A = this chain, B = another copy of it.
Amino acid sequence: MTDQHKYVYEFSEGDASMRNLLGGKGANLAEMTGLGMPVPQGFTITTEACTRYYADGEKISDDIRAEILTYIGKLEKITGKKFGDPENPLLVSVRSGSRASMPGMMDTILNLGMNEAVVEAFAKKTGNPRFVYDSYRRFIQMYSDVVMETGKAYFEELIDEMKHARGVTADLDLDADDLKQLAEQFKAEYRNKIGSDFPSDPIEQLFGAIRAVFRSWDNPRAIYYRRMNDIPSDWGTAVNVQSMVFGNLGDTSGTGVAFSRNPATGDKGLYGEFLMNAQGEDVVAGIRTPETIDHLKERNPEVYNQFVEIVGRLEQHYRDMQDMEFTIEEGKLFMLQTRNGKRTAAAAFKIACDLVDEGMITTEKAVTMIDPKQIDALLHPQFDVAELKAAQPIGKGLPASPGAACGQVSFTAEQAAEWGKAGKDVVLVRLETTPEDIEGMHHSKGILTARGGMTSHAAVVARGMGTCCVSGLGDIKFGADGKSFSLGEHTFVEGDWISLDGSTGNVYGQAIKTVPAEIGGYFGRIIGWADEYRTMKVRTNADTPVDAAAARAFGAEGIGLCRTEHMFFETDRIAAIREMIVSKTVEQREAALAKLLPMQRGDFEGIYEAMEGYPVTIRLLDPPLHEFLPHEEDDIVALASEMNISVEELKGVIDSLHEFNPMMGHRGCRLDVTYPEIGAMQTRAIIEAAINVQKRHPEWKLVPEIMIPLVGEVKEFNFVKQIITSTADAIIAESGVALEYLVGTMIEIPRAALTADEIAKDAQFFSFGTNDLTQMTFGFSRDDAGKFLDAYYDKKIYENDPFARLDTVGVGRLMKTAVELGKGARPDIKLGICGEHGGDPSSIEFCQSIGLNYVSCSPFRVPVARLAAAQSALQSTINHG
């Protein structure tokens, strides 16, 4: 259908289905044209032309240039106007429009086609010289700024000077002569800056503008926006050239924007505003206060009714809430744009439910039309909107864990825990957090760190807890006493109030009231429909009964990852684990482990209880042992005395545990290979806890899933499995309870994926640990990659953080291999994912496509995953059936 050599389409040639080629704006202008709605005519230069522009070394090739000129000719015929004709000039707008909506990211030029001759004749012809000169000065200003990149500050200064000279305050109070004079000044400024005259040839103007739009696809804010929104850089933008209509032709003209429903609340009914005698930018600029849309009924009932009728048709046609721009030119309505409107999370759920109730859409459609990422906002506390408006951020870090937090600054985890228990609101401020800080983090409303990225310890743990976190705010300088920090010109001491926005990364130097999350009935209805269409289960990563209960409340259908080591950092346990580490004999080690056994068993009982019989996957000890030992001199001395060993001996142990690359060191199942007694103790805790809970709840059928981490070789798996089964079988036999259990492994080492057929012969389940798998597959550590990944984004080598969004090309290929090999060896193998990617919608889609049975994510991501899993299932139905 597509002609390889066709780079330009008239609006009447396209339709809404051609979005990829014409961009969203162009496709919808074409669609409205097809629906017979009043659209100023024009044509769209395709996204492929943009791709060509970059492929050709940022040049518009001769063939595309010729094609554009042909379509200018056609547009002149349709409108009966001519480029550069003083009697009847064709004036056009030139706007970008990409496949995905990128509001405000790229550039627009209005009133193109004006020059002195045109302006003079046009002023006479319209009898409205003020309008004409106003348009002209706007055009010069916009063209200089956007096409020639002069900036616009100096132009604004000239306007201000003129207003000052005339003794007026509003632009509207300047008369035609003033504006004419301004246009002259603007052109002089252009000459001054650029070194040549402002172009008077409309064709030269046009190609300048088209180039500028193409170029704007790659401006820094567009690149940043694409990265934030997962938009590939090779999509390119289309360019829409549209004949101008004027909302600033006088009091019967105007312009406005409107939504078919309220985008903040979702309430049904027209919602919007307009300004008479104005162009679009005036509405946005906020210099004059626009009127709400219902006032249009009084101003021009005929136009209002026509608009309401069009809005109804458009919503019926697109079956979604519409966001529209319109212009009234001397009493005549023109539609300039329509698109599915952006909306708040709350509105999204309400609108989807209402559209179902109105019979406009099916429940499948309702499920697919909500962006799962929006759910986050519904599940966390937010700032009070009024207080937030009055506040100014004093710094911006990474939005590491969403929600809003307000509390008193504390610099140590111990104090944060103490204050938190005493009922204070605490914000924990640290250089970076370590596993030892876990209790203090638990008792904080928010966490702020100077170091660390989106996947730092603080970020990962905070997301898991659903606690607000801003990380990597490098501008923070800590005081030498450790009891103060400065940020810019502000200094804060212990106990001062600050507020964090974990969804934006903003930090405020004051208390801002927060309001708790509210999940309404609409959310429940949608998520209920989602569960009907979903084929993958959604589990949670939870290490404590509290987290497990939270996840159950969010609908988790099991635990996909329970990290046993998180329990070890609590004050009453760390002593026992340290005793185990400094043990010199197996007997000493077993004695220390025996102290841990009842604690672990108690934890597991609590977790089984909280999960009410749903499956629980427990991972054996994973981190390298040095993580449990202190590294600061003072702490070492204190610990040595506490443990009754010499400082030298303790230092010797710490030294011997030092690793060059701890991520690739002595951890995971390697610990069980060297110290089988650790795995034996943990197995005992898991199985005994299950037996106890099973006895208390005969109505449940508990089947603990014991997961061996960091396996790279089947013999290694079997060595540890043998420790597990010999321990477990003996306990079960003795108990008389017919408990079943599964033994499986993380797939997080490339070699495990490559030899998954061998491993699956003996492993009953696989859980993809995509955090480590991503590190090993890319060969970079996420703790270190921050130093160079920005350069990779800038240079467009990577467009996404592979730790946030699964790399389906490389890591995904390994996963696919593992799934195929694993199923080949054991057709009923259980397959899941427990890396951070388990809560990321696009990664969930990939998991669906390779046939995983479940995804597992932090408790607060469970609803996101439920919705994303439903969308993936529906998508895969479309793709495959």
List residues of A whose CB falls within 8 A of some B CB: 659-666, 670, 673-674, 710, 712-713, 715-716, 719, 748-751, 754-755, 772, 775-781, 783-785, 787-788, 791-792, 795-798, 807, 809-811, 813-814
List the 5 closest A-B pairs by CB distance, nearest first: A751-B810, A661-B781, A749-B779, A664-B781, A665-B784
Residues of chain B within 8 A (CB-CB) of A663 are 660-661, 664
Residues of chain B within 8 A (CB-CB) of A797 are 673, 713, 715-716, 719
Question: Known interface pairs A719-B795, A814-B750. Does A662 touch B665 (Cβ–Cβ under 8 Å)?
Answer: no
- Complex Cα distance, B670 from A781, in Å, reads 13
Query: Would you call A810 and B754 a contact (CB within 8 A)?
Result: yes
Query: Would you call A784 and B664 a contact (CB within 8 A)?
Result: yes
Q: Which residue, A710, A719, A792, A797, has most C-beta atoms of chain B within 10 A?
A: A797
Candidates B772, B777, B780; contact of A665 at CB < 8 Å? B780
Q: Which residue, A673, A772, A784, A788, has most C-beta atoms of chain B within 10 A?
A: A784
A-B residue pairs in contact (CB < 8 Å), sample of 10: A661-B664, A663-B664, A664-B781, A670-B788, A673-B792, A712-B777, A713-B797, A716-B792, A719-B795, A751-B779
Residues of chain B within 8 A (CB-CB) of A715 are 796-798
Query: Would you call A666 and B784 a contact (CB within 8 A)?
Result: yes
- Complex Cα distance, B810 from A779, in Å, reads 16
Query: Would you call A775 and B673 a contact (CB within 8 A)?
Result: no
- Complex Cα distance, B785 from A673, in Å, reads 13
Q: How far is the CB of A133 from chain B (nearest CB, A)?
A: 47
Candidates B674, B777, B787, B788; contact of A754 at CB < 8 Å? B777
Query: Would you call B795 and A777 a contact (CB within 8 A)?
Result: no
Candidates B749, B777, B781; contact of A660 at CB < 8 Å? B781
Q: How far is the CB of A277 from chain B (nearest CB, A)?
A: 50
Residues of chain B within 8 A (CB-CB) of A791 are 673-674
Query: Would you call A664 and B813 a contact (CB within 8 A)?
Result: no
Q: Which residue, A659, A750, A807, has most C-beta atoms of chain B within 10 A?
A: A750
Query: Would you call A809 and B660 a contact (CB within 8 A)?
Result: no
Contacts A661-B781, A751-B779, A776-B779 known; list 10 others, CB within 8 Å. Answer: A660-B784, A661-B664, A666-B784, A670-B780, A710-B779, A712-B777, A712-B780, A715-B797, A749-B778, A749-B779
Residues of chain B within 8 A (CB-CB) of A712 are 777-780, 810
Query: Would you call B713 and A787 a contact (CB within 8 A)?
Result: no
Q: How far is the CB of A142 from chain B (nearest CB, A)?
A: 34
Query: Would you call A659 and B792 a contact (CB within 8 A)?
Result: no
Query: Would you call A662 and B664 a contact (CB within 8 A)?
Result: no
Candidates B662, B674, B779, B811; contact of A772 at CB < 8 Å? B779
Residues of chain B within 8 A (CB-CB) of A781 are 659-661, 664-665
Query: Would you call B814 and A674 a contact (CB within 8 A)?
Result: no
- Complex Cα distance, B785 from A712, in Å, reads 13
- Complex Cα distance, B715 from A649, in Å, reads 50
Residues of chain B within 8 A (CB-CB) of A788 are 666, 670, 673-674
Candidates B660, B661, B777; contact of A751 at CB < 8 Å? B777
Residues of chain B within 8 A (CB-CB) of A666 are 784, 787-788
- Complex Cα distance, B659 from A600, in Å, reads 34
With both beta carbons as reference points, the residue of chain B lying nearest to A807 in the complex is identified as B751
- Complex Cα distance, B807 from A42, in Å, reads 64
- Complex Cα distance, B813 from A785, in Å, reads 27
- Complex Cα distance, B797 from A560, in Å, reads 28
Query: Would you call B780 and A664 a contact (CB within 8 A)?
Result: yes
Q: Which residue, A674, A748, A751, A777, has most C-beta atoms of chain B within 10 A?
A: A751
Residues of chain B within 8 A (CB-CB) of A807 are 751
Query: Would you call A783 and B673 a contact (CB within 8 A)?
Result: no
Candidates B670, B713, B776, B787; contact of A776 at CB < 8 Å? B776
